[in-house]
Structure 1
Amino acid sequence: MGEVAATMKIMPEGVDTDLDDLKIRLEAVLPEGASIFGSEIEPVAFGLKALKLVVLVGDLEGGTEPVEEAFAAVPGVESVQVTELGRPV
């Protein structure tokens, strides 16, 4: 089994959402076998910032769906979007 690196863009519910706290809460709900490989905060517009995470997941059936569903259920998350998939380097 190999690993897939999925870059995910997590949009918070508002400009006042603490992205550092949000990242901690997202790490806490990661499904077994998934891990965060990297992160950055990306300005979007009008003070709104997105949290971009690179998540390593096994290349099993279902792919990133369990991670996306877990992240979407976290309070403070408006949306989760996979922006890139590839092999970790």
Structure 2
Amino acid sequence: MLRELFTEHPNSVEETYAEHMGMAFSFAGHMLRGAIACFIHGFLPFLFVKTGSATIDELHGRMVANRQQQAPDRLAARAAAVQR
């Protein structure tokens, strides 16, 4: 039961716990960079004019579009690993 708490969501997005942690940490870094840029932009509107929206677009592409393309590849790789 305790193990399910840590693996249910990663499994639902076709990732291992470690893969999911790596993705989450990567997203957090990008979001932090975007947040700092937006904060500075609030004070100095001539700086980081497109950084916030570019960060959102990049993360959306990685999270949604790439997941749809990678899911069949990951499933095939896992199936091959199980057969070994």
* TM-score, reference length from structure 2: 0.31
Structure with bigger strand share is 1
Structure with bigger helix share is 2
Larger Rg: 2
* TM-score, reference length from structure 1: 0.30
More relative contact order in 1 or in 2 (CA 8 Å, sep 6+)? 1
